[in-house]
């Protein structure tokens, strides 16, 4: 019933920008926190950013100052604006929804940053 669909991934040169989107259906979006995670081949899934239902944000040290998470409750969508991209940012990016824990996850979208 609950579905999260990521979009906006692709190939970009180092120093460029991308905006990821995650559209949510099947729940009252505004009542939940949202998070972004990423996973590179052969590595563990890492936390990237989160936003509470009240709009408070949190970021991994590796992306502070470069990435911005936001939400549009009217569109049931969360965004991740990624600027000054580096090859180290290459990964599959996943969005997640929850309160006490992240209960629902999207399918992921590939982000590749070339040198």
Question: Which pLDDT belongs to residue 91?
Answer: 98
Tell me the pLDDT of the chain averaged across its residues: 95
Report residue 63's pLDDT band, with 50, 70 and 90 as the boundaries: very high
d(CA 7, CA 95): 10
Region 85-99 average pLDDT = 96
| pLDDT (average), residues 25-46 | 92
- At 99, the pLDDT band (50, 70, 90 cuts) reads confident
Per-residue confidence (pLDDT) for residue 29, from 0 to 100: 86
Closest to 39 measured CA to CA, from 89, 103, 74, 3: 89
């Amino acid at each position: 019933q609950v579905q999260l669909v990521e979009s906006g991934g692709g190939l970009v040169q180092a120093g460029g920008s991308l905006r990821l989107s995650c559209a949510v259906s099947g729940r009252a979006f505004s009542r939940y926190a949202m998070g972004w995670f990423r996973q590179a081949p052969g590595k563990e899934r890492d936390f990237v950013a989160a936003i509470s239902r009240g709009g408070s944000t949190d970021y991994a040290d590796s992306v502070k100052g470069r990435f911005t998470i936001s939400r549009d409750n009217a569109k049931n969508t969360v965004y991740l604006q990624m600027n000054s991209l580096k090859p180290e940012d290459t990964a599959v990016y996943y969005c997640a929804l929850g309160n006490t824990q992240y209960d629902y996850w999207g399918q992921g979208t590939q982000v590749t940053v070339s040198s």
